Amino acid sequence: MSIPNSETNNGVPYTHLPESDNDSGNTPARCRKTNRSTFIILTGLVAFLLFFVAVKYGNNDGTDDIIPGPVPPHETVCNMIGSNLMPLTTMRTVARGVEEGVSAKSHGHFLGVRPFPWTQKMLAWQRTSFHFQPKKNWMNDPNGPLYYKGWYHLFYQYNPEAAVWGNIVWGHAVSRDLIHWQHLPVAMVADQWYDINGVWTGSATFLPNGDLIMLYTGSTNESIQVQNLAYPADPSDPLLRKWIKYEGNPVPIPPPGIGLKDFRDPTTAWTTPEGKWRITIGSKINKTGISLVYDTIDFKKFELLKGMLHGVPGTGMWECVDFYPVSKIAENGLDTSENGPAVKHVLKSSLDDDRNDYYALGTYNAGAGKWVPDNPIIDVGIGLRYDYGNFYASKSFYDQEKKRRVLWAWIKETDSEAADICRGWASLQPIPRTIQYDKKTGSNLITWPVAEVDNLRSNNNEFNKVVVKPGSIVPLEVGSATQLDIMAEFEVDQNMLKKVDGSNATYDCIKSGGSGERGALGPFGLLVLTDNSLSEQTPIYFYIAKDLTGNFNTFFCNDLTRSFEASDVRKLIYGSTVPVLQGEKLSLRTLVDHSIVESFAQNGRTAITSRVYPTKAIYENAKIYLFNNATDISVTATIKIWQMNSANIKSN
C-alpha cells in the first residue's frame, strides 16, 4: 500500500527532538549478587531516599505525594522482601503514568504498610498457565487486535526494561486460535519526536482492498498526545513483523479547547454514508467525558465534526473508547461499518477517574455523527460494565474468520510494586471474550470466553443435586484446584422464596459485609483457591434480596477480603446485580488460573474478574468448596469441573 507524503501536520508546527535527545537515558536494570554489607548499604540508601523525598515533598496532611522514582534492581528488592527488611512505607505516591498523561498504572505504596515477605515459591505460583502474558516485565492495554492471513495478532503496551509501567513500546504475539501464542519481536518502538514519550493505544482498520492501517496515540517530545498512522512494511507477511510509520505524522492533533494530554486512543474506523472513514477519540471538557468524531478519506488528513459522538457530564476523561454494532436478531458479530434497523450500537469508555470500563446500548445517527443511549439512566460511565472486577482498557475487534466480535482487556496487579519487581512481571490479559446482544433482556450485552478455551479441558468431575443447607460448607474433591473450568447451577426452592418476608433494606456487593454477612436468601456459591483450614478463601456467590412488595433482585459478587493473608494486597469486594428471568436457574462459570479468577453469571450477563494472591491456598493446598451462608433456605447445586491444561505460549 502506498502512503503519500503529507505537506503539513494539519497546519500545526512541531519541533523535532534533537538527535542527542533521542536516548531516553533508561538502561535495563542488571541483576547481580550482593554481599551482606552491600545489602545493608542498599537498604539504608532506600530508606534514606524515601525519607528525603518525604521531607522534600511532604504535605500538610501528614502524608506525602511523591513521583515514582527509578526502578530498583530486581535482586535488591527480592532480598529486602525475603529478609523482611523493606522500609516501612509511610508515604503515598503519585501513581505511575499520571504525570505522563495517562490513567494510573500503579496504585503506589500503601500507607503505613511493609511489603509482605513473599517467598519465591509463592511468587512463582502466581504466574498463569492459560492466560496470555509476556515472559517477563510489564504489560497493559491491548492494541489493534486483528485477524490477518490465518493469524490472530495481539499488540500490547509493554515495558521491555522492568516490571513497572514506563518505556512503553508495542509488544506483539500471534496465535492460530486465541489460546496458544507465539511471541514476536517488538512491533513499534518510541523512536520519533511524535511518539518519543510512548507508543500508546491504537486500533487497526482494514480497507476494502484488504490493506491494513493502524492509528495509534503517541506522546510527543513535549508530552502532547497526537494520533499517528502506521502500516505493514510487507503486507504479504502474515506475521506482520515490521511496521512503517507514516512520514507525515502526526495526523489528528488536539483541537482548540481540548487539553494537550486529553486526546488519545483512536478507534477502528468505519464508513459513512458519504463513503468516508470515521473514527472517534476519547477526551473531556472540564468533567464531561466526550468522544470526538473525525472523518477522513485517506487517513492522513482528518476533519473534526462539530459537537461530539456523545458526552456524559461528571464522568471525567474518556480513554480507550470503543464503538461498534451488535445484531438484535443474529448470533454473529458484525463488521464495524454495519448499520440498519436490526442493529444496536455499543459505545464504551474506560473512565480515567475510576479505572472501570462502562458501556451503553443506543442508536447511531450516521448522517449527524451522533449516538443516543437507549436509557440515559444507564448511560456510558454511570450504568453497565463489561466486568465488575479488575478489567480495564478493553478493546474489541471483528473476527472476520469466525464472524464474531472478540473482546480483549487489561487485568492489572493489586499487590505491591515491590512484589511485582521481585516476581519479574506484572499484569496480563483475560481469556478473549465474544460479545453478543442479549435478546432475552434487550437491555444488556453478553460476554463469554471464546469457544477455543474449551479445548484445554480434561478430567471432568460432576456433582449432581448436591444439597447445601443453611450455614454449611461442602468440599468438592477434584484433586488440584489451581487450573479449573467450573460450570455450576443453583436451584432455590420457590416455595421458600415466597414464604420469606421481604425487607426495606438495600443490598450492595461492594458495601456489604461480604460472603460472611448472612441474609435470609444468601450468600451462597463457590469457594475457590481455599486452603483446608479455610483461612484463605475466595468466595464467588449469589445474594437474593426480596423487598417489601415481594420483588426480587439477584446480586453476583466476589469477596477478596479473605483471599490472602498478605498485608500489601488490596482486599476488595466486587459485584453488581444480574438479570434473572422467570424460570431461569442461577448459573455461573468460573475460570481459575492460579492468580486470576474470571467468573460469569447467567451465561455472561454479568462478569467479575479478580487477581488473587494467596500464601497458603497454592499448589496442592488449593481446594474448592460449595457454601451457603443463607439463614432461611437450602440450595441444590449441580456442578461440572474440568482440570485445565496449560496453553502453549512460546517466546521469541
Cell matching residue 88: 516501612
pTM of the model: 0.90
Average pLDDT in the chain: 88
Cα separation, 520 vs 539, whole angstroms: 18
Residue 28 pLDDT exceeds 70: no
- pLDDT of res. 25: 35
Residue 84 pLDDT exceeds 90: no
Residue 36 pLDDT exceeds 70: no
Beta bridge partners of 373: 362
Segment 351-360, tens digit of pLDDT: 999 999 999 9
* pLDDT confidence band for 322 (50 / 70 / 90): very high
The larger pLDDT score, comparing residue 32 to residue 488, is at 488
As a whole number, mean pLDDT of residues 600-625 equals 97
Cα separation, 434 vs 450, whole angstroms: 6
- pLDDT of res. 66: 55
Asked if 525 and 490 count as a contact pair (C-beta separation under 8 A), the reply is yes
Asked if 413 and 390 count as a contact pair (C-beta separation under 8 A), the reply is no
Give the C-alpha distances (Å, rounded to integers) separating 640 from 243, 245, 477, 488, 629. Answer: 46, 50, 12, 6, 22
Segment 323-373, tens digit of pLDDT: 999 999 999 999 999 999 999 999 999 999 999 999 999 999 999 999 999
Fold of 457-644: Jelly Rolls (2.60.120)
* pLDDT confidence band for 86 (50 / 70 / 90): low
Cα separation, 133 vs 617, whole angstroms: 23
* pLDDT confidence band for 40 (50 / 70 / 90): very low
Type and span of the H or E element at 230: strand 225-232
Give the C-alpha distances (Å, rounded to integers) separating 224 from 101, 255, 497, 548. Answer: 9, 12, 58, 55
Q: In 3D, which of 290, 300, 263 has the Cα closest to residue 349?
A: 290
Q: Is 408 helix (H, G, I), strand (E, B) or coil?
A: strand
Residue 17 pLDDT exceeds 50: no
* pLDDT confidence band for 383 (50 / 70 / 90): very high
> Half-sphere exposure of residue 424, counting CA atoms within 13 Å on the CB side?
12
* pLDDT confidence band for 417 (50 / 70 / 90): confident
Q: In 3D, which of 490, 484, 479 has the Cα closest to residue 597?
A: 484
Cell matching residue 35: 554481599
- pLDDT of res. 65: 52
* pLDDT confidence band for 38 (50 / 70 / 90): very low
DSSP 60-77: TTS-BEE---PPPPHHHH
Cell matching residue 435: 460479545
* pLDDT confidence band for 105 (50 / 70 / 90): confident
* pLDDT confidence band for 46 (50 / 70 / 90): very low
Segment 187-212, tens digit of pLDDT: 999 999 999 999 999 999 999 999 99
Type and span of the H or E element at 81: helix 74-82
Residue 26 pLDDT exceeds 50: no
Segment 472-523, tens digit of pLDDT: 999 999 999 999 999 999 999 888 888 898 887 899 999 999 999 999 999 9
Segment 251-305, tens digit of pLDDT: 999 999 999 999 999 999 999 999 999 999 999 999 999 999 999 999 999 999 9
E strand residue ranges, 318-429: 318-327, 343-351, 356-365, 370-373, 384-385, 392-399, 404-410, 425-426
Q: In 3D, which of 353, 338, 389, 422 has the Cα closest to residue 118?
A: 422
- Sign of the alpha-carbon torsion through 82, 85, 91, 95: negative
Residue 583 pLDDT exceeds 50: yes
> Which residue in the list 64, 141, 485, 559 is annotated as catalytic?
141
* pLDDT confidence band for 93 (50 / 70 / 90): low
Segment 122-164, tens digit of pLDDT: 999 999 999 999 999 999 999 999 999 999 999 999 999 999 9
DSSP state of 519: B
Domain ranges of the chain: 139-449, 457-644
Residue 602 pLDDT exceeds 90: yes
- pLDDT of res. 87: 59
Residue 58 pLDDT exceeds 60: no
- pLDDT of res. 418: 86
As a whole number, mean pLDDT of residues 405-425 equals 94
* pLDDT confidence band for 75 (50 / 70 / 90): confident
As a whole number, mean pLDDT of residues 600-619 equals 97
- pLDDT of res. 80: 77
The larger pLDDT score, comparing residue 106 to residue 547, is at 547
DSSP state of 82: H
Q: What percent of the chain clears pLDDT 70, i.e. is strictly above it?
A: 86
Cα separation, 17 vs 219, whole angstroms: 12
> Half-sphere exposure of residue 82, counting CA atoms within 13 Å on the CB side?
15
139-449 and 457-644 have identical folds: no
234 is catalytic: no
- pLDDT of res. 397: 98
Residue 316 pLDDT exceeds 80: yes
Cα separation, 307 vs 544, whole angstroms: 43
Fold of 139-449: Tachylectin-2; Chain A (2.115.10)
- pLDDT of res. 625: 98
Q: What percent of the chain clears pLDDT 90, i.e. is strictly above it?
A: 77
Cell matching residue 450: 471464546
